[in-house]
Amino acid sequence: MTVLQWVQDGQRRLQQAVDALPGTAVFEPSALPGWTRGHLLTHLARNADALVNLLTWARTGTPTPMYTSPDRRVTDIEAGAGRPLTEQQRDVRQSAARFAAAAEALTQEAWSATVVSGQGREIPASEVPWLRAREVWIHLVDLRVGVAMDALPADFAWALVDDVAGWMSARVAPGAGAELTAEGFGTVVLGRPSVDVTVTGSPNALASWLTGRGATDELHVRGELPGLPRWL
């Protein structure tokens, strides 16, 4: 399955969940501290548009950052959080369509172009769909609409494990870490463990633990489970 297919499948699940929400849902809390569902829906829509900027950059060669200023992301989310649900539903749908159209417009050469992520990291444009897939699936869970981490496609969840473990490896305490293993998928090393620590489970259970979105009761741990830095 391609990464763009993960985006499409996640967006379809997201839109189904959003379209089924009652009108008062925008004011109810999401799973993210301090954010209502309205904040989260607005974030998802503006994230799609911000990533369209990167795809436009790759297509045209004209630098087009995700956000026009460091504060723009926050102010846009706050400004849109209290909008009526029908407007938010439409925004989520239309921004996703803009992202799909921008991706469709890229040539093979443009996918290799270098752009700059919101964290200031130089990345190839081919990494942008992964950033979107990650946002859509993770925040579908965060909306508190009855979708848990076990709903993520297993191959996507394993890619997420690899991604998050790689990010965390430079941030865990010296000597801390573990080998993370999912049967049928392989092993990813988190950090630089000084002792033999293994954490085994399904890709979804491992992803849930690494991203701070689930308990550890589905994991088999040999040794002491390492402490994790907060992810994104």
- Name the CATH superfamily housing domain 3-147: dinb family like domain (1.20.120.450)
Contact 179, 199 (CB under 8 A): yes
β-pair partners for 186: 182
Looking at residue 1, its pLDDT comes to 52
In the chain, the amino acid numbered 86 is T
CATH topology of domain 161-222: Nonspecific Lipid-transfer Protein; Chain A (3.30.1050)
- In angstroms, the CA 92 to CA 94 distance is 6
Taking the whole predicted model, whether its pTM rises above 0.85 is answered as: yes
The CATH 3.30.1050.20 domain(s) of the chain lie at 161-222
Q: What is the C-alpha separation between 214 and 204, in angstroms, rounded?
A: 10
Q: Return the HEC string of the chain.
A: CCHHHHHHHHHHHHHHHHHCCCHHHHHCECCCCCCEHHHHHHHHHHHHHHHHHHHHHHHHCCCCCCCCCCCHHHHHHHHHCCCCHHHHHHHHHHHHHHHHHHHHCCCHHHHCCEEECCCCCEEEHHHHHHHHHHHHHHHHHHCCCCCCHHHCCHHHHHHHHHHHHHHHHCCCCCCCEEEEEECCCEEEEEECCCCCCEEECCHHHHHHHHCCCCCCCCCEEECCCCCCCCCC
Extract long-range pairs of 184-189: CB within 8 Å, 24+ residues apart. Answer: 185/154, 185/155, 185/158, 186/158, 188/161, 188/162, 189/165
Measuring CA to CA, which residue among 69, 85, 66 is closest to residue 17? 85
Q: How do the pLDDT tens digits run along the chain, 232 residues long?
A: 589 999 999 999 999 999 999 999 999 999 999 999 999 999 999 999 999 999 999 999 999 999 988 799 999 999 999 999 999 999 999 999 999 999 999 999 999 999 999 989 999 999 999 999 999 999 999 999 999 999 999 999 999 999 999 999 999 988 899 999 999 999 999 998 888 999 999 999 999 999 999 878 899 999 988 889 988 7
Half-sphere exposure of 58 (CA within 13 A, CB side): 30
Domain with CATH 1.20.120.450 in the chain: 3-147
Closest CA to 54 of 123, 142, 157, 151: 123
